[in-house]
Amino acid sequence: MAASIIKKQIPLSPPFLKGENKPAPRAIGVFDSGVGGLTVLRHIRQMLPNERLIYVADSGHVPYGDKPAHYIEQRSLSLAHFLIEQGADAIVIACNTATAAAATSLRSRYGIPIIGMEPAVKPAVAASKSGVVGVLATVGTLESARFAALLEKYAGDVEIVTQGCPGLVEQIELGELSSTQTRELIERYTSPLLARGADTLILGCTHYPFLIPLIRDAVGESIALVDTGAAVARQLQRRIQTELPERYAGDASVQFFTSGNEAHATRIMSMLWGRTVEAKLLPPAFL
């Protein structure tokens, strides 16, 4: 479904709750192709403990990595529309592939802070001593114009070796964080990067930090692993402080939604979030 175009502007004066002499609370919307964005949500919660958070896992359409850019763009527009309807004053695209496909469209349509993800090429290049950096990511991210621009801007003399990782996102969506199949996939995808001399690996998908223990087993302790979750949380903090100063932080609640199976999403999200949560099904118009 194509989302309606809404240009939500930041109010010039503080909105007040009915019967209360204080501004309305902020809400931060976060979405991903599935549960991977919970790695970003965790950083956001640590940095902004009092914010109201709304998370959407588009697990009914996961993975994004093998889908056309226009499909991902329309899904992203629809999910952003839903989050704004729920009261989101800022949106984090907690997905590298969705950022590449839809960040420009979202920013042109919605007058609120839109924070995206991108593979951490700049810090990885700075960290590498061997001059070879490996990138683990979805095919959609690796083939995007945004990723090509990152390489052109930051790679310099460092060799960037990329590796698409079909199947890894699906394993994480199933909660298979330590299975033999997941371990075999990681070994298959990291081996070529190590063989090329990479001493730094970029985790170019928000799902992959859930697999750091297995990745460590495969590559050893000497290989630097880089992801961008903490940097995105810091950018969100800066944006809401400068662009939403009239709003107070909120009630520290977290709501979870899914476009997939509610029972499965509740089980997997509870496991990954580290406490029991309830994942609600998105309304039919957004499925």
* Residue 256 one-letter amino acid: F
Torsion of CA 168, 174, 178, 181, to 10 degrees: -60
Pull the structure tokens for residue 149. Answer: 């621009």
Task: Let me know if 95 is a catalytic residue.
Answer: yes
Distance CA 99, CA 37 (A): 12
CB 240 within 8 A of CB 174: no
Task: Let me know if 165 is a catalytic residue.
Answer: no
112 φ, ψ (degrees, to nearest 5): -130, 165
Catalytic pick among 95, 102, 211, 240: 95
Pull the structure tokens for residue 240. Answer: 């809401």
Catalytic pick among 44, 137, 150, 205: 205
Pull the structure tokens for residue 70. Answer: 């226009």
Number of Cβ within a 10 Å radius of residue 184: 12
User: What Rg do the C-alpha atoms of the chain give, in angstroms?
Assistant: 19
Q: Which residues are known catalytic residues?
A: 95, 205
